[in-house]
Amino acid sequence: MLSNNNNVFTKNGIKFQLNRFHIIFACAQTTAAYLAAACILLFQLGCFPRPLDLQLKDSTNSNPVAGVTIHRHSVTLLSLLATDSNAVKSDALGDARIWVPPFNTKLTLLQPGFEPSTVDVFTSKTTTSMLASDNSSVMMLRFDDLDGKAKRTMQMAQVKYVPISVKVVDQSTGSPIEDADVLATTFLYLPMPGLEDRWGFPDLQNFRSDTDGRTGVKHVSGFRNVITVRKPGYQEARQDFLASQSELVLQLRRLQAKSIQFKTMNSESKEVVGNVVVRLCEQRNGLPPDPNGFAVVSDASGFTPPIPIQNLMPLSVETERAGYHRFTLGLDWRTLKDGEIIKVYVRKKGWFE
């Protein structure tokens, strides 16, 4: 028989007395047991990261590939924010363990001299027919299948280079253009070009056209290949190219110019603001500065020196000054008048900006 009175318990004629410590300890044990059970349930439901074990091999000789950088990007509500990929590297045996969060996740495997490989892990429902098998450079897995027991093999192919002939001509006359910059870059799905060494991209190719407007580049397998041709006084030409294209002919459009001045002013007080840099807004694509680019600085009266503005496409300018927000202004060259003064309004930063 069990009875109690004021924390004194009697069982079979023997009295037991519990103090406050015993009660707290018992409650803590119960809580810990519930938490452990909840953690086990959450893990089974896929609420915690799970390990993915990979073995990376060279597709030509089956040797392990060491030092492969594996970047991890998950699709969540925070995907639009800049986050670190928490990259890991394969060891000397080509082995790597990656902890995959319970979200749709893309793993990108990069190693200089090899084509990029990808692993897509889906938390959504997928059928077996939708998944790519092991021993390939592209793998698709279900998050529920990650149990930390199986090791999956990925074959990494060595990069192949295919020479491509390039000819640069004037769009209007068809005449060859000498001494044009011919730039070849490689891209993945990431907005980063071949200059970003830490991502393992092939180097930027930079050549100049000869007197016949000719030069050559190399197509790099496994990447998106883009060629850009530039020359001062011409609109740059840019296009993708494939290994199957033996020759590329790129036409450059000759530019026209109008003399323009800028006047920089405070957007709120409408007072002039000096020492503001006004420059051509260039795409952040990792290429060298555009030879048609310009930058001028406003004086104490807010005026910049006159600058020839060419009919570039696209055409926009941006401002920069300490203590002020950057401002971008799109221009329609057709509506500009030679000698025109364009007012550019800049906004001062607040205390906490």
Among the ranges given (77-86, 110-119, 122-131), the one the predictor scored with the smallest mean pLDDT = 77-86
Task: Report the C-alpha gap between 18 and 10 in whole angstroms.
Answer: 11
pTM of the full structure: 0.74
What is residue 194's three-state secondary structure? coil
Cis peptide before 314 (omega within 30 of 0): yes
Average pLDDT, the chain: 83
Tens of pLDDT, residue by residue over 309-347, are: 999 999 999 999 999 999 999 999 999 999 999 999 999
Tens of pLDDT, residue by residue over 105-126, are: 888 898 989 998 889 888 866 5
Place of tokens 């491509």: 164
**Phi–psi pair at 86, nearest 5 degrees:** 50, 55
What is residue 186's three-state secondary structure? strand
Tens of pLDDT, residue by residue over 178-228, are: 999 999 988 775 544 433 444 556 788 999 999 999 999 999 998 889 999
- Residues of the chain with pLDDT > 70, as a percent, come to 75
Give residue 125's pLDDT: 67
State CA 168 to chain mean position distance.
31
Task: Report the C-alpha gap between 67 and 90 in whole angstroms.
Answer: 5
274-277: long-range contacts (C-beta < 8 A, 24 or more apart)? 274/298, 274/299, 274/300, 274/301, 274/302, 275/321, 276/302, 276/319, 276/320, 276/321, 276/324, 276/344, 276/346, 277/319, 277/320, 277/321
